[in-house]
Amino acid sequence: MQSRVRRRLFGADGASYERAGSNGDWYGAFTLVTSGSERCDKCGNGLTIPKRSRPSFPPVATHAVSLDAQCETCAAVKPVAARWVPRFQQGEPRDPAFGCALYLQEETGRGTLWAYNRAHALALLEWIASPARSRDGAILPGAMASRLPGWMKSAANRTAVEKSLGRLVARAAAI
């Protein structure tokens, strides 16, 4: 079983976001990550490590840096080694390979609707507009529909989502 950190740093296709950042191919946000759980040298309790992130441009080097972490109990300060790694969160409207914001995205009243390309937008539109969806909740775990947010699958939002997807398909056709 993969650890939480490992899932965050590796994409669904197995591509390493760390490798993308070190090659200079990553144009998304970066965040500082420490090597593990750090403990205070004096009392052994946990350290509060400051969280830092950087916007996508200009690209940042992935070399090691030092952060001053403070003990939660005795307030002692200890330098902690950290490194910049690309930040990618599942469900963000970003390209998972380079971290760039997707061109095909639109804000709706419920959330952001996005697609990678015209084929993806058409597949979403076909599923949303389909009247023959399963009503017994039998959506396969790996299916695209199982990963869609509830507001997209709701019948109350169907018309608005169809219109937004139609605009995304039209925008993709104009490229």
Residue 26 sits in the same domain as residue 61 = yes
- In sequence order, the β-bridge partners of residue 27 are none
DSSP assigned state of 42 = T
pLDDT at 2 > cutoff 90: no
Cα separation of 147 and 77, whole Å? 43
Of 22, 6, 23, the residue nearest 14 (C-alpha): 6
pLDDT tens digits for range 32-69: 777 766 788 888 888 877 777 666 555 556 566 788 88
Identify whether 145 is part of a domain: yes
At 150 the three-state DSSP class reads helix
Burial of 171 (0-12, 13-18, 19+ CB in 10 A): middle
Of 54, 45, 31, the residue nearest 78 (C-alpha): 45
* Structural domain that includes position 122: 105-173
How high does pLDDT run on average in the chain? 75
Residue 115 sits in the same domain as residue 77 = no
pLDDT tens digits for range 17-34: 444 545 556 677 777 777
What's the number of domains the chain is made of? 2
